[in-house]
Amino acid sequence: MTLRDRISSRLPRLPRIPRRGLWPYLLALGPGLLAASAGNDAGGIATYASAGALYGYGLLWAMVLVTICVGVVQEMSARLGAVTGKGFSDLVRENFSLRATAFILLSLLIANMGIIVSEFVGIAAAAELFGVSRYIAVPISAVLVWLLITRGSYQRVEQIFLTLSLVFLSYIGAAFLAKPDWGAVLYETVQPQITWSTDYLLLLIALIGTTISPYMQLYVQSSVVEKGVTPHEYRYTRFDVFIGTLFAGLVASFIIIATAATLFPSDRPLESATEAAQALRPVAGPYAELLFGIGLLGASLLAAGVLPLATTYMLSEALGIERGVSHSWDEAPVFNMIFTTLVVLGALFALVPGLPLIQVLIGVYVLNGVLLPISLITVMMLVNNRELMGNQVNGRFYNIFAWTITVVVSLLSLVMIGATVLEWFTA
């Protein structure tokens, strides 16, 4: 037997990860799926539920477009991470001026802090649906999230987050309980139509704004880096990003279907995801409410973990300190301290009695709207930088498509901000 034969006869006995077929794709699932799922948080659910309640299936076609946009945006961030091996703020710091870096990161920090608060508010609301006091549910969730991130390795964190994202399936259940007219659903999905009213357009923009968020880009890039994805393995991660986006888009669509089948035509938008759940009860039965509530709790928990993590990645990269969930407290003290502060502050703010929540949340979304063009353009500039990406820059047609998305989404979110600010002055 030649040396080569002997090696061959021995190696196959021990494969731990099959490197062929579907396996590597499944093992790569994580960063993209989680980032996209975290976008379906309490605020997102409320927007989707409102879309269904106000316009029936009329906005389903838009979800198709929005999902494609999210996929492109997320793919570019993931590619940046895989090719350069560096997180978003690492790259910003190395390629933009210090003042620009400080501006981008500081505004991201404020916006993310606001969203972290909103996630804990979402947990509180979901807990109260099940009759549990927020003063019990919020601290427990905060401790759970904290323990998971500070004690777990990256794989453990990812596994638990992935399991948690299964709760989104409950929305599909809720949609079926609502007994929609599937023929109409299919027809409206492929048949674009626009109602030319201000409310309709604003809701359309809100739909885009809640689905494409800067923190999702931050998270997907940083976790691709921490997972250790290389350019060589990038095709698996791209699959993860696209599957994740598709999943998130489907979940959002099913939320629209559930409320469209039951609450449409409603005369006013739903203020929160909780309200949507309660409204489902008389029409679709208690199980629909239960499923909606479980979905809300899971979604908020997931986002309450992902957001502080994304924000911590961002800060520690920019400051140049040791980072990563995979390191113990002693090895990454600053990383863990930032993370702890974010979780504690988020949970505390969510428990402040009499906090004008709606106003705070609107402020947060406006800030996110301002940030979205900034982060999109930053990513576009980085991903097209040949010095960083080599031949992995955007292809020509992909680039035209990506720039179109960037410009359109940026303009829309600026319109949204204009409308919101106008409302403040007229009210």
Q: Which residues bind another protein (CB under 8 A)?
A: 3-4, 6-8, 10-12, 14-17, 19, 27, 84-86, 93-94, 98-99, 101-102, 153-155, 225-228, 230, 232, 319-320, 322, 324, 326-328, 331, 387
Show Cβ contacts of residue 411 under 8 Å, excluding neighbours closer than 6 positions: none
Nearest distance, CB of residue 161 and another protein, angstroms: 16
SS3 7: helix
Residue whose CB is less far from another protein, 86 or 134: 86
Nearest distance, CB of residue 216 and another protein, angstroms: 22
How many degrees, rounded to 5, is the angle at CA 260 between CA 179 and CA 418?
160
Q: For residue 165, which of 293, 37, 70, 309 has the smallest C-alpha distance?
A: 37
List Cβ<8 Å contacts ≥24 apart for 188-194: 188/56, 188/57, 188/58, 188/60, 188/61, 189/57, 189/60, 189/61, 189/63, 189/64, 189/253, 190/61, 191/61, 192/61, 192/62, 193/58, 193/61
Residue 369 in tokens: 């709207």
Distance CA 288, CA 81 (A): 40
Nearest distance, CB of residue 22 and another protein, angstroms: 15
Nearest distance, CB of residue 31 and another protein, angstroms: 12
Q: For residue 375, which of 404, 406, 408 has the smallest C-alpha distance?
A: 406
Residue whose CB is less far from another protein, 98 or 190: 98
Residue whose CB is less far from another protein, 103 or 135: 103
Q: Are 349 and 120 in contact (CB under 8 A)?
A: yes
Residue whose CB is less far from another protein, 27 or 68: 27
Nearest distance, CB of residue 86 and another protein, angstroms: 5
Distances (CA, A) of 369 to 96, 99, 262: 21, 21, 31
Residue whose CB is less far from another protein, 94 or 423: 94
Nearest distance, CB of residue 240 and another protein, angstroms: 12
Residue whose CB is less far from another protein, 269 or 324: 324
Nearest distance, CB of residue 27 and another protein, angstroms: 6
Residue whose CB is less far from another protein, 41 or 158: 158
Distance CA 289, CA 277 (A): 5
